[in-house]
Structure 1
Amino acid sequence: MATYAIGDIQGCLEPLQCLLQEIKFNPSKDKLWLAGDLINRGPDTLETLRFLYRLRDSITIVLGNHDLHFIAVYYGQRKRGKNDTLDELLRAPDCADLVYWLRQQKLVHHDPLLNFTMVHAGIPPQWDLSEALAHAREVENVLQTDKVEIFLAGMYGNLPNRWNDNLAGVDRLRLITNYFTRMRFCSADGELELQTKESVDAAPIGFAPWFSFAERKTWDQRILFGHWAALEGRTDVENVYALDTGCVWGGSLTALRLEDERWFACDCLA
Protein backbone atom coordinates (compact mmCIF):
# COMPACT_ATOMS: atom_id res chain seq x y z
CA MET A 1 0.00 0.00 0.00
CA ALA A 2 1.24 3.48 -0.90
CA THR A 3 -0.13 7.00 -0.65
CA TYR A 4 0.47 9.50 -3.45
CA ALA A 5 -0.20 13.25 -3.28
CA ILE A 6 -0.90 14.91 -6.64
CA GLY A 7 -0.97 18.58 -7.56
CA ASP A 8 -3.47 20.59 -9.56
CA ILE A 9 -5.05 18.43 -12.28
CA GLN A 10 -7.38 21.12 -13.68
CA GLY A 11 -9.14 18.83 -16.11
CA CYS A 12 -5.99 17.32 -17.66
CA LEU A 13 -7.16 13.72 -17.76
CA GLU A 14 -4.52 12.19 -20.05
CA PRO A 15 -1.57 13.35 -17.90
CA LEU A 16 -3.40 12.10 -14.81
CA GLN A 17 -3.87 8.67 -16.33
CA CYS A 18 -0.23 8.72 -17.46
CA LEU A 19 0.87 9.53 -13.92
CA LEU A 20 -1.27 6.80 -12.39
CA GLN A 21 0.27 4.33 -14.83
CA GLU A 22 3.75 5.62 -13.94
CA ILE A 23 3.18 4.98 -10.23
CA LYS A 24 1.36 1.71 -10.92
CA PHE A 25 -1.60 2.93 -8.92
CA ASN A 26 -3.82 0.15 -7.58
CA PRO A 27 -7.11 1.54 -6.21
CA SER A 28 -7.72 -1.60 -4.18
CA LYS A 29 -4.69 -0.93 -1.99
CA ASP A 30 -3.17 2.49 -2.80
CA LYS A 31 -4.47 5.94 -1.86
CA LEU A 32 -4.48 9.25 -3.73
CA TRP A 33 -4.40 12.65 -2.05
CA LEU A 34 -5.45 15.46 -4.40
CA ALA A 35 -4.45 19.03 -3.57
CA GLY A 36 -7.43 20.76 -5.16
CA ASP A 37 -8.18 22.42 -8.50
CA LEU A 38 -9.32 19.12 -9.89
CA ILE A 39 -11.04 20.84 -12.80
CA ASN A 40 -11.29 23.91 -15.03
CA ARG A 41 -8.97 25.42 -17.64
CA GLY A 42 -7.94 21.98 -18.91
CA PRO A 43 -9.49 20.10 -21.85
CA ASP A 44 -11.33 17.28 -20.04
CA THR A 45 -13.06 18.79 -17.03
CA LEU A 46 -16.17 16.57 -17.10
CA GLU A 47 -14.39 13.28 -17.71
CA THR A 48 -11.70 14.10 -15.15
CA LEU A 49 -14.31 14.64 -12.45
CA ARG A 50 -16.19 11.50 -13.46
CA PHE A 51 -12.94 9.53 -13.39
CA LEU A 52 -12.13 10.76 -9.90
CA TYR A 53 -15.67 10.11 -8.72
CA ARG A 54 -15.30 6.48 -9.75
CA LEU A 55 -12.14 6.33 -7.61
CA ARG A 56 -13.73 8.16 -4.69
CA ASP A 57 -13.21 5.33 -2.19
CA SER A 58 -9.46 5.56 -2.79
CA ILE A 59 -8.95 9.33 -2.78
CA THR A 60 -8.76 12.20 -0.32
CA ILE A 61 -9.49 15.69 -1.65
CA VAL A 62 -9.04 19.24 -0.47
CA LEU A 63 -10.94 21.83 -2.46
CA GLY A 64 -9.19 24.49 -4.51
CA ASN A 65 -10.38 27.85 -5.75
CA HIS A 66 -11.38 26.42 -9.14
CA ASP A 67 -13.46 23.70 -7.51
CA LEU A 68 -15.28 26.26 -5.36
CA HIS A 69 -15.72 28.47 -8.43
CA PHE A 70 -17.43 25.63 -10.26
CA ILE A 71 -19.80 25.08 -7.33
CA ALA A 72 -20.61 28.80 -7.28
CA VAL A 73 -21.33 28.81 -11.02
CA TYR A 74 -23.56 25.75 -10.65
CA TYR A 75 -25.66 27.54 -8.02
CA GLY A 76 -25.89 30.68 -10.11
CA GLN A 77 -23.80 32.73 -7.68
CA ARG A 78 -21.06 33.47 -10.21
CA LYS A 79 -20.86 33.85 -13.98
CA ARG A 80 -18.55 31.64 -15.99
CA GLY A 81 -15.18 33.19 -16.76
CA LYS A 82 -13.90 33.57 -20.31
CA ASN A 83 -11.22 30.91 -19.73
CA ASP A 84 -13.45 28.43 -17.91
CA THR A 85 -13.95 24.96 -19.37
CA LEU A 86 -17.06 24.13 -17.39
CA ASP A 87 -19.80 24.11 -20.03
CA GLU A 88 -19.86 20.38 -20.71
CA LEU A 89 -19.79 19.61 -16.99
CA LEU A 90 -22.63 22.01 -16.24
CA ARG A 91 -24.78 20.38 -18.96
CA ALA A 92 -24.02 16.83 -17.84
CA PRO A 93 -26.90 14.74 -16.43
CA ASP A 94 -24.76 13.76 -13.43
CA CYS A 95 -23.64 17.33 -12.66
CA ALA A 96 -25.78 17.62 -9.52
CA ASP A 97 -24.31 14.40 -8.12
CA LEU A 98 -20.78 15.62 -8.79
CA VAL A 99 -21.49 18.98 -7.14
CA TYR A 100 -22.92 17.26 -4.08
CA TRP A 101 -19.83 15.05 -3.85
CA LEU A 102 -17.47 18.04 -4.07
CA ARG A 103 -19.41 19.83 -1.36
CA GLN A 104 -18.56 17.01 1.07
CA GLN A 105 -14.81 17.48 0.64
CA LYS A 106 -12.35 19.17 2.97
CA LEU A 107 -10.33 22.38 2.85
CA VAL A 108 -7.53 20.97 5.01
CA HIS A 109 -6.65 17.32 5.58
CA HIS A 110 -4.31 16.01 8.25
CA ASP A 111 -3.19 12.41 8.69
CA PRO A 112 -1.46 11.86 12.07
CA LEU A 113 -0.17 8.43 11.07
CA LEU A 114 1.56 9.62 7.90
CA ASN A 115 2.33 12.96 9.58
CA PHE A 116 1.31 15.02 6.54
CA THR A 117 -1.15 17.88 6.15
CA MET A 118 -2.62 18.85 2.77
CA VAL A 119 -4.19 22.17 1.73
CA HIS A 120 -4.71 23.78 -1.65
CA ALA A 121 -2.93 27.11 -1.19
CA GLY A 122 -1.44 27.24 2.29
CA ILE A 123 -1.86 27.83 6.02
CA PRO A 124 -1.31 31.39 7.28
CA PRO A 125 1.60 31.91 9.68
CA GLN A 126 -0.55 32.89 12.67
CA TRP A 127 -2.46 29.60 12.87
CA ASP A 128 -1.19 26.34 14.28
CA LEU A 129 -2.48 23.06 12.90
CA SER A 130 -5.39 22.71 15.32
CA GLU A 131 -6.55 26.25 14.54
CA ALA A 132 -6.27 25.64 10.80
CA LEU A 133 -8.34 22.46 11.01
CA ALA A 134 -10.96 24.16 13.16
CA HIS A 135 -11.29 27.11 10.78
CA ALA A 136 -11.44 24.78 7.78
CA ARG A 137 -14.36 22.97 9.41
CA GLU A 138 -16.25 26.26 9.65
CA VAL A 139 -16.32 26.52 5.85
CA GLU A 140 -16.75 22.78 5.29
CA ASN A 141 -19.81 22.74 7.53
CA VAL A 142 -21.46 25.59 5.60
CA LEU A 143 -20.71 23.96 2.25
CA GLN A 144 -22.58 20.87 3.38
CA THR A 145 -25.77 22.66 4.48
CA ASP A 146 -28.60 24.60 2.87
CA LYS A 147 -26.66 27.79 3.66
CA VAL A 148 -24.21 26.99 0.88
CA GLU A 149 -25.67 29.56 -1.55
CA ILE A 150 -25.41 32.38 0.99
CA PHE A 151 -21.75 31.52 1.48
CA LEU A 152 -21.06 31.25 -2.26
CA ALA A 153 -22.76 34.59 -2.93
CA GLY A 154 -20.31 36.28 -0.57
CA MET A 155 -17.25 34.13 -1.22
CA TYR A 156 -15.59 36.42 -3.78
CA GLY A 157 -13.47 39.38 -2.75
CA ASN A 158 -10.09 40.29 -1.25
CA LEU A 159 -11.31 41.86 1.98
CA PRO A 160 -10.98 41.44 4.87
CA ASN A 161 -7.31 40.59 4.35
CA ARG A 162 -6.11 40.19 7.95
CA TRP A 163 -7.38 37.74 10.55
CA ASN A 164 -9.30 38.88 13.59
CA ASP A 165 -10.95 36.43 15.97
CA ASN A 166 -13.97 38.72 16.11
CA LEU A 167 -14.71 38.38 12.40
CA ALA A 168 -18.13 36.89 11.81
CA GLY A 169 -20.50 35.79 9.08
CA VAL A 170 -19.57 35.82 5.42
CA ASP A 171 -16.52 38.06 6.01
CA ARG A 172 -15.05 35.45 8.32
CA LEU A 173 -15.77 32.58 5.92
CA ARG A 174 -14.40 34.54 2.96
CA LEU A 175 -11.06 35.18 4.64
CA ILE A 176 -10.73 31.56 5.78
CA THR A 177 -11.44 30.44 2.23
CA ASN A 178 -8.94 32.90 0.78
CA TYR A 179 -6.21 31.67 3.11
CA PHE A 180 -6.74 28.04 2.24
CA THR A 181 -7.48 28.33 -1.49
CA ARG A 182 -5.94 31.57 -2.84
CA MET A 183 -2.98 32.58 -0.69
CA ARG A 184 0.55 32.93 -2.02
CA PHE A 185 2.08 35.99 -0.37
CA CYS A 186 1.26 37.33 3.08
CA SER A 187 2.88 39.22 5.93
CA ALA A 188 4.27 37.63 9.10
CA ASP A 189 1.00 38.33 10.91
CA GLY A 190 -1.15 36.94 8.10
CA GLU A 191 -2.12 40.00 6.06
CA LEU A 192 -2.96 38.70 2.59
CA GLU A 193 -1.62 40.04 -0.70
CA LEU A 194 -3.71 38.42 -3.42
CA GLN A 195 -2.67 40.32 -6.54
CA THR A 196 0.79 38.85 -7.14
CA LYS A 197 0.91 35.40 -8.74
CA GLU A 198 4.47 35.21 -9.96
CA SER A 199 7.50 33.52 -8.39
CA VAL A 200 9.01 34.15 -4.97
CA ASP A 201 11.23 36.88 -6.44
CA ALA A 202 8.13 38.98 -7.17
CA ALA A 203 7.16 39.37 -3.52
CA PRO A 204 5.79 42.87 -2.84
CA ILE A 205 7.48 44.94 -0.12
CA GLY A 206 6.38 43.72 3.31
CA PHE A 207 5.18 40.35 2.03
CA ALA A 208 6.74 36.92 1.51
CA PRO A 209 5.60 33.38 0.65
CA TRP A 210 3.34 32.08 3.41
CA PHE A 211 5.66 29.15 4.10
CA SER A 212 8.84 31.23 4.46
CA PHE A 213 8.31 32.81 7.88
CA ALA A 214 10.55 31.45 10.64
CA GLU A 215 7.85 32.16 13.24
CA ARG A 216 5.16 30.30 11.28
CA LYS A 217 3.19 28.22 13.80
CA THR A 218 3.12 25.16 11.53
CA TRP A 219 6.91 25.15 11.11
CA ASP A 220 7.06 21.62 12.55
CA GLN A 221 4.38 20.20 10.22
CA ARG A 222 4.92 18.51 6.86
CA ILE A 223 2.60 20.42 4.52
CA LEU A 224 1.56 19.55 0.97
CA PHE A 225 0.02 22.25 -1.22
CA GLY A 226 -0.76 23.10 -4.83
CA HIS A 227 -2.05 26.34 -6.38
CA TRP A 228 1.29 28.07 -7.09
CA ALA A 229 2.58 26.84 -10.44
CA ALA A 230 5.21 29.59 -10.64
CA LEU A 231 7.17 27.85 -7.86
CA GLU A 232 7.82 24.99 -10.30
CA GLY A 233 7.66 22.53 -7.41
CA ARG A 234 10.29 24.22 -5.22
CA THR A 235 9.89 25.92 -1.84
CA ASP A 236 13.42 25.64 -0.38
CA VAL A 237 11.72 24.75 2.91
CA GLU A 238 12.49 21.21 4.01
CA ASN A 239 9.04 20.11 5.15
CA VAL A 240 6.81 22.08 2.74
CA TYR A 241 6.08 20.40 -0.59
CA ALA A 242 4.82 22.29 -3.66
CA LEU A 243 2.80 19.92 -5.85
CA ASP A 244 1.56 22.24 -8.60
CA THR A 245 4.02 22.02 -11.49
CA GLY A 246 1.83 23.73 -14.05
CA CYS A 247 0.35 20.85 -16.03
CA VAL A 248 -2.45 22.96 -17.51
CA TRP A 249 0.16 25.54 -18.62
CA GLY A 250 2.25 22.94 -20.45
CA GLY A 251 4.37 21.83 -17.51
CA SER A 252 3.96 18.48 -15.80
CA LEU A 253 1.65 16.71 -13.38
CA THR A 254 3.49 15.68 -10.25
CA ALA A 255 2.97 13.10 -7.51
CA LEU A 256 4.81 12.59 -4.23
CA ARG A 257 4.81 9.16 -2.60
CA LEU A 258 4.40 10.03 1.05
CA GLU A 259 5.97 6.93 2.56
CA ASP A 260 9.44 7.59 1.07
CA GLU A 261 9.03 11.11 -0.41
CA ARG A 262 9.84 9.96 -3.94
CA TRP A 263 8.68 12.18 -6.78
CA PHE A 264 6.98 11.12 -10.02
CA ALA A 265 5.85 13.24 -12.98
CA CYS A 266 4.24 13.09 -16.41
CA ASP A 267 4.48 15.85 -18.99
CA CYS A 268 1.36 17.76 -19.96
CA LEU A 269 1.23 19.04 -23.51
CA ALA A 270 -1.10 22.02 -23.34
Structure 2
Amino acid sequence: MADYAIGDLQGCFSEFSTLLQRVDFNPSKDHLYLVGDIVARGPDSLACLDYIYQHQNSMTITLGNHDLHMIACYYLNKPTNPKDKLAPIFNSNKLQHYISYLQTQPIALYLKQHDSFIAHAGLNPNWSIEQALKHAQFAQECYQSNNAKTFFERMYQPHPAMWSNELDCFEKFRYIVNYFTRMRFLTQNNKLELIAKGAINKNNELTPWFCHPNIRTSTHDIIFGHWAALEGSTGFKHVHALDTGCVWGNTMSLMELTNKKVITEKSHLLSK
Protein backbone atom coordinates (compact mmCIF):
# COMPACT_ATOMS: atom_id res chain seq x y z
CA MET A 1 0.00 0.00 0.00
CA ALA A 2 1.19 3.50 -0.83
CA ASP A 3 -0.25 7.01 -0.67
CA TYR A 4 0.62 9.64 -3.27
CA ALA A 5 -0.11 13.29 -3.97
CA ILE A 6 0.00 14.78 -7.44
CA GLY A 7 0.11 18.32 -8.75
CA ASP A 8 -2.34 20.10 -11.02
CA LEU A 9 -3.37 17.86 -13.91
CA GLN A 10 -5.15 20.59 -15.90
CA GLY A 11 -6.24 18.13 -18.53
CA CYS A 12 -2.81 16.57 -19.13
CA PHE A 13 -3.94 12.96 -19.11
CA SER A 14 -0.94 11.46 -20.93
CA GLU A 15 1.52 12.65 -18.28
CA PHE A 16 -0.89 11.71 -15.50
CA SER A 17 -1.26 8.13 -16.70
CA THR A 18 2.50 7.84 -17.31
CA LEU A 19 3.29 8.85 -13.72
CA LEU A 20 0.82 6.32 -12.36
CA GLN A 21 2.47 3.63 -14.48
CA ARG A 22 5.93 4.67 -13.29
CA VAL A 23 4.99 4.09 -9.64
CA ASP A 24 2.95 1.00 -10.49
CA PHE A 25 -0.14 2.61 -8.97
CA ASN A 26 -2.64 -0.05 -7.92
CA PRO A 27 -6.17 1.31 -7.34
CA SER A 28 -7.07 -1.72 -5.27
CA LYS A 29 -4.54 -0.89 -2.55
CA ASP A 30 -2.96 2.54 -3.21
CA HIS A 31 -4.51 5.99 -2.76
CA LEU A 32 -3.93 9.18 -4.72
CA TYR A 33 -4.57 12.70 -3.43
CA LEU A 34 -4.97 15.27 -6.20
CA VAL A 35 -4.23 18.85 -5.14
CA GLY A 36 -6.87 20.31 -7.46
CA ASP A 37 -7.29 21.85 -10.90
CA ILE A 38 -7.76 18.50 -12.54
CA VAL A 39 -9.43 20.24 -15.49
CA ALA A 40 -8.92 23.25 -17.81
CA ARG A 41 -6.37 24.41 -20.38
CA GLY A 42 -4.88 21.00 -21.19
CA PRO A 43 -5.81 18.70 -24.10
CA ASP A 44 -7.90 16.05 -22.30
CA SER A 45 -9.71 17.18 -19.18
CA LEU A 46 -12.45 14.65 -19.90
CA ALA A 47 -10.01 11.72 -19.76
CA CYS A 48 -8.56 13.00 -16.46
CA LEU A 49 -11.97 13.42 -14.88
CA ASP A 50 -13.32 10.14 -16.22
CA TYR A 51 -10.32 8.15 -14.93
CA ILE A 52 -10.66 9.69 -11.48
CA TYR A 53 -14.42 9.10 -11.51
CA GLN A 54 -13.94 5.44 -12.43
CA HIS A 55 -11.38 5.00 -9.64
CA GLN A 56 -12.99 7.27 -7.09
CA ASN A 57 -12.55 4.81 -4.23
CA SER A 58 -8.79 5.27 -4.52
CA MET A 59 -8.80 9.00 -5.35
CA THR A 60 -9.40 12.16 -3.31
CA ILE A 61 -9.40 15.68 -4.77
CA THR A 62 -8.94 18.91 -2.87
CA LEU A 63 -10.88 21.10 -5.27
CA GLY A 64 -9.08 23.89 -7.08
CA ASN A 65 -10.31 27.15 -8.57
CA HIS A 66 -10.71 25.62 -12.05
CA ASP A 67 -12.70 22.71 -10.64
CA LEU A 68 -15.03 25.01 -8.72
CA HIS A 69 -15.38 27.27 -11.74
CA MET A 70 -16.46 24.33 -13.88
CA ILE A 71 -19.08 23.34 -11.29
CA ALA A 72 -20.26 26.97 -11.17
CA CYS A 73 -20.59 27.09 -14.96
CA TYR A 74 -22.77 24.00 -14.78
CA TYR A 75 -25.03 25.39 -12.07
CA LEU A 76 -25.27 28.87 -13.56
CA ASN A 77 -25.65 27.65 -17.15
CA LYS A 78 -22.67 29.83 -17.95
CA PRO A 79 -20.52 29.27 -21.06
CA THR A 80 -17.00 28.07 -20.33
CA ASN A 81 -13.91 29.84 -21.62
CA PRO A 82 -12.89 28.19 -24.92
CA LYS A 83 -9.28 28.28 -23.69
CA ASP A 84 -10.27 25.86 -20.92
CA LYS A 85 -11.21 23.19 -23.50
CA LEU A 86 -14.05 21.87 -21.37
CA ALA A 87 -16.57 21.26 -24.18
CA PRO A 88 -16.02 17.46 -24.18
CA ILE A 89 -17.00 17.33 -20.50
CA PHE A 90 -20.09 19.49 -20.98
CA ASN A 91 -21.08 17.42 -24.01
CA SER A 92 -20.68 14.13 -22.11
CA ASN A 93 -23.77 12.19 -21.08
CA LYS A 94 -22.02 11.71 -17.73
CA LEU A 95 -21.78 15.44 -17.02
CA GLN A 96 -24.28 15.43 -14.16
CA HIS A 97 -22.53 12.44 -12.57
CA TYR A 98 -19.14 14.16 -12.84
CA ILE A 99 -20.47 17.36 -11.24
CA SER A 100 -22.16 15.46 -8.43
CA TYR A 101 -18.97 13.53 -7.78
CA LEU A 102 -16.83 16.67 -7.64
CA GLN A 103 -19.23 18.15 -5.11
CA THR A 104 -18.51 15.22 -2.77
CA GLN A 105 -14.85 16.20 -2.66
CA PRO A 106 -13.26 18.37 0.06
CA ILE A 107 -11.55 21.71 -0.33
CA ALA A 108 -8.84 20.83 2.20
CA LEU A 109 -7.82 17.82 4.27
CA TYR A 110 -5.31 16.64 6.84
CA LEU A 111 -3.71 13.20 6.69
CA LYS A 112 -2.80 12.25 10.25
CA GLN A 113 -0.77 9.23 9.16
CA HIS A 114 1.52 11.50 7.13
CA ASP A 115 1.14 14.66 9.27
CA SER A 116 0.30 16.44 6.03
CA PHE A 117 -2.18 19.20 5.23
CA ILE A 118 -3.36 19.38 1.62
CA ALA A 119 -5.23 22.18 -0.16
CA HIS A 120 -5.06 23.53 -3.69
CA ALA A 121 -3.49 26.91 -2.87
CA GLY A 122 -2.17 26.25 0.64
CA LEU A 123 -2.89 27.14 4.26
CA ASN A 124 -3.97 30.59 5.44
CA PRO A 125 -1.16 31.54 7.88
CA ASN A 126 -3.72 32.94 10.31
CA TRP A 127 -5.43 29.56 10.67
CA SER A 128 -4.31 26.53 12.60
CA ILE A 129 -4.91 23.25 10.85
CA GLU A 130 -7.89 22.66 13.13
CA GLN A 131 -9.36 26.03 12.18
CA ALA A 132 -8.63 25.44 8.50
CA LEU A 133 -10.46 22.11 8.53
CA LYS A 134 -13.44 23.69 10.27
CA HIS A 135 -13.58 26.40 7.60
CA ALA A 136 -13.15 23.80 4.86
CA GLN A 137 -16.08 21.83 6.24
CA PHE A 138 -18.23 24.95 6.20
CA ALA A 139 -17.37 25.65 2.55
CA GLN A 140 -18.00 22.03 1.60
CA GLU A 141 -21.43 22.13 3.22
CA CYS A 142 -22.19 25.26 1.17
CA TYR A 143 -21.30 23.81 -2.23
CA GLN A 144 -23.08 20.55 -1.38
CA SER A 145 -26.25 22.25 -0.14
CA ASN A 146 -29.60 22.68 -1.85
CA ASN A 147 -28.60 26.34 -2.15
CA ALA A 148 -25.35 25.55 -4.01
CA LYS A 149 -26.37 27.60 -7.06
CA THR A 150 -26.62 30.78 -4.99
CA PHE A 151 -23.25 30.14 -3.36
CA PHE A 152 -21.67 29.76 -6.80
CA GLU A 153 -23.37 32.97 -7.97
CA ARG A 154 -21.87 34.85 -5.01
CA MET A 155 -18.43 33.21 -5.33
CA TYR A 156 -17.30 35.83 -7.86
CA GLN A 157 -18.10 38.91 -5.79
CA PRO A 158 -15.28 40.95 -4.16
CA HIS A 159 -13.18 39.28 -1.50
CA PRO A 160 -14.11 40.39 2.06
CA ALA A 161 -11.31 42.52 3.47
CA MET A 162 -11.32 40.80 6.86
CA TRP A 163 -12.76 37.71 8.50
CA SER A 164 -15.55 38.47 10.93
CA ASN A 165 -18.37 36.56 12.52
CA GLU A 166 -20.53 39.39 11.19
CA LEU A 167 -19.98 38.24 7.60
CA ASP A 168 -22.99 36.53 6.10
CA CYS A 169 -22.74 32.91 4.96
CA PHE A 170 -22.05 33.89 1.34
CA GLU A 171 -19.20 36.21 2.34
CA LYS A 172 -17.71 33.55 4.60
CA PHE A 173 -17.91 31.03 1.78
CA ARG A 174 -16.16 33.40 -0.61
CA TYR A 175 -13.46 34.28 1.94
CA ILE A 176 -12.70 30.62 2.64
CA VAL A 177 -12.74 29.54 -1.01
CA ASN A 178 -10.40 32.35 -2.05
CA TYR A 179 -7.79 31.34 0.53
CA PHE A 180 -7.94 27.64 -0.25
CA THR A 181 -8.04 27.93 -4.05
CA ARG A 182 -6.57 31.30 -5.13
CA MET A 183 -3.96 32.33 -2.55
CA ARG A 184 -0.40 33.16 -3.60
CA PHE A 185 0.74 36.45 -2.11
CA LEU A 186 -0.05 38.40 1.04
CA THR A 187 0.23 42.18 1.38
CA GLN A 188 2.43 43.86 3.99
CA ASN A 189 -0.50 43.85 6.42
CA ASN A 190 -1.16 40.14 5.76
CA LYS A 191 -4.19 40.62 3.53
CA LEU A 192 -4.85 38.30 0.61
CA GLU A 193 -3.61 39.69 -2.73
CA LEU A 194 -5.47 38.14 -5.65
CA ILE A 195 -3.89 39.75 -8.72
CA ALA A 196 -0.19 38.83 -8.76
CA LYS A 197 0.49 35.31 -10.00
CA GLY A 198 4.08 35.18 -11.26
CA ALA A 199 7.35 34.24 -9.59
CA ILE A 200 8.12 35.29 -6.03
CA ASN A 201 8.09 39.06 -5.70
CA LYS A 202 11.50 40.58 -4.95
CA ASN A 203 10.49 44.10 -3.92
CA ASN A 204 9.12 43.24 -0.46
CA GLU A 205 5.71 44.69 -1.26
CA LEU A 206 4.18 41.21 -1.41
CA THR A 207 5.05 38.08 0.54
CA PRO A 208 4.40 34.48 -0.51
CA TRP A 209 1.96 32.97 1.98
CA PHE A 210 4.43 30.23 2.92
CA CYS A 211 7.02 32.81 4.02
CA HIS A 212 4.77 33.97 6.85
CA PRO A 213 6.31 33.11 10.26
CA ASN A 214 3.37 30.86 11.15
CA ILE A 215 4.05 28.72 8.10
CA ARG A 216 7.85 28.85 8.28
CA THR A 217 7.77 27.47 11.81
CA SER A 218 5.03 24.92 11.26
CA THR A 219 5.84 21.35 12.29
CA HIS A 220 3.43 19.89 9.73
CA ASP A 221 3.99 19.16 6.06
CA ILE A 222 1.90 21.38 3.80
CA ILE A 223 1.19 20.21 0.25
CA PHE A 224 -0.34 22.44 -2.41
CA GLY A 225 -0.51 23.18 -6.13
CA HIS A 226 -1.87 26.25 -7.97
CA TRP A 227 1.41 28.17 -8.35
CA ALA A 228 3.28 26.84 -11.37
CA ALA A 229 5.69 29.79 -11.42
CA LEU A 230 7.35 28.41 -8.27
CA GLU A 231 8.59 25.47 -10.37
CA GLY A 232 8.21 23.23 -7.32
CA SER A 233 10.48 25.25 -5.03
CA THR A 234 9.41 27.05 -1.84
CA GLY A 235 12.71 27.07 0.05
CA PHE A 236 11.17 25.14 2.95
CA LYS A 237 11.48 21.38 3.37
CA HIS A 238 8.01 21.04 4.88
CA VAL A 239 6.17 23.15 2.27
CA HIS A 240 5.73 21.22 -0.95
CA ALA A 241 4.67 22.89 -4.20
CA LEU A 242 3.41 20.20 -6.59
CA ASP A 243 2.16 22.32 -9.49
CA THR A 244 5.20 22.32 -11.75
CA GLY A 245 3.46 23.61 -14.86
CA CYS A 246 2.84 20.56 -16.99
CA VAL A 247 0.15 22.32 -19.01
CA TRP A 248 2.65 25.11 -19.76
CA GLY A 249 5.22 22.68 -21.15
CA ASN A 250 7.18 21.95 -17.96
CA THR A 251 6.58 18.89 -15.74
CA MET A 252 3.96 17.07 -13.69
CA SER A 253 5.00 16.11 -10.15
CA LEU A 254 3.93 13.16 -8.00
CA MET A 255 4.96 12.70 -4.36
CA GLU A 256 5.11 9.51 -2.31
CA LEU A 257 3.65 10.72 0.98
CA THR A 258 5.57 8.48 3.37
CA ASN A 259 9.04 9.67 2.36
CA LYS A 260 8.04 12.85 0.47
CA LYS A 261 10.03 11.72 -2.56
CA VAL A 262 8.93 13.46 -5.76
CA ILE A 263 9.13 12.13 -9.28
CA THR A 264 8.40 14.21 -12.35
CA GLU A 265 7.26 13.62 -15.89
CA LYS A 266 8.17 16.08 -18.61
CA SER A 267 5.22 17.54 -20.48
CA HIS A 268 4.29 15.57 -23.57
CA LEU A 269 2.69 18.57 -25.21
CA LEU A 270 5.80 19.78 -27.02
CA SER A 271 6.67 16.32 -28.30
CA LYS A 272 3.40 15.93 -30.19
Normalising by structure 1, report the TM-score.
0.95
Distance 1:164 1:204 in 2: 28
Change over 3 Å in CA distance of 1:217–1:235 after alignment to 2:
closer
Aligned to 2:268: 269
Q: How does 1:23-62 map to 2 (within 5 A)?
A: 23-62=23-62
2:207 corresponds to 1:208: yes
Aligned to 1:139: 139
Q: 5+ unaligned residues in a row in structure 1: which ranges? A: none
Q: Cα offset for 1:155?
A: 0.5
Distance 1:138 1:45 in 2: 28
CA contact (8 A) 2:159 2:178 kept: no
Aligned to 1:154: 154
Larger fraction in helix: 2
Q: How does 1:1-270 map to 2 (within 5 A)?
A: 1-76=1-76, 78-187=78-187, 190-201=190-201, 205=205, 207-216=206-215, 219-270=218-269
Change over 3 Å in CA distance of 1:220–1:171 after alignment to 2:
same
CA contact (8 A) 2:124 2:209 kept: yes
CA contact (8 A) 1:4 1:33 kept: yes
Distance 1:138 1:188 in 2: 28
Q: 1:23-65 CA distances to partner (integer Å, 9 max, x unpaired)?
A: 1111111110100001111110111100111111111110000
RMSD of aligned Cα (Å): 1.7
Partner letter of residue 166 of structure 2? N
Distance 1:20 1:174 in 2: 34
CA contact (8 A) 2:142 2:173 kept: no
Structure 1 segments of 4+ aligned residues over 6 angstroms from their partners: none
CA contact (8 A) 1:245 1:252 kept: yes
CA contact (8 A) 2:14 2:268 kept: no
Distance 1:48 1:218 in 2: 36
Q: 5+ unaligned residues in a row in structure 2: which ranges? A: none
Q: Cα offset for 1:142?
A: 1.2
SS in 1 for 2:163: coil
Partner letter of residue 63 of structure 1? L
CA contact (8 A) 1:125 1:189 kept: no
CA contact (8 A) 2:201 2:207 kept: no
Partner letter of residue 58 of structure 1? S
Q: Cα offset for 1:261?
A: 1.4
Distance 1:189 1:111 in 2: 31
Higher mean alpha-carbon deviation, 218-227 vs 231-240, is at 218-227
Higher mean alpha-carbon deviation, 159-168 vs 15-24, is at 159-168
Distance 1:76 1:269 in 2: 34
SS in 1 for 2:113: coil
Q: Cα offset for 1:75?
A: 1.1
Higher mean alpha-carbon deviation, 98-107 vs 136-145, is at 136-145
Higher mean alpha-carbon deviation, 254-263 vs 164-173, is at 164-173
Change over 3 Å in CA distance of 1:199–1:217 after alignment to 2:
closer
Q: 1:225-256 CA distances to partner (integer Å, 9 max, x unpaired)?
A: 00000000000012110000001101111001
**Between Structure 1 and Structure 2, how many residues are aligned?**
269
Q: Cα offset for 1:188?
A: 6.7
Partner letter of residue 227 of structure 1? H
CA contact (8 A) 2:254 2:264 kept: yes
Change over 3 Å in CA distance of 1:221–1:142 after alignment to 2:
same
CA contact (8 A) 1:23 1:264 kept: no
CA contact (8 A) 2:184 2:208 kept: yes
SS in 1 for 2:76: coil
Change over 3 Å in CA distance of 1:212–1:266 after alignment to 2:
same
CA contact (8 A) 1:77 1:152 kept: no
Normalising by structure 2, report the TM-score.
0.94
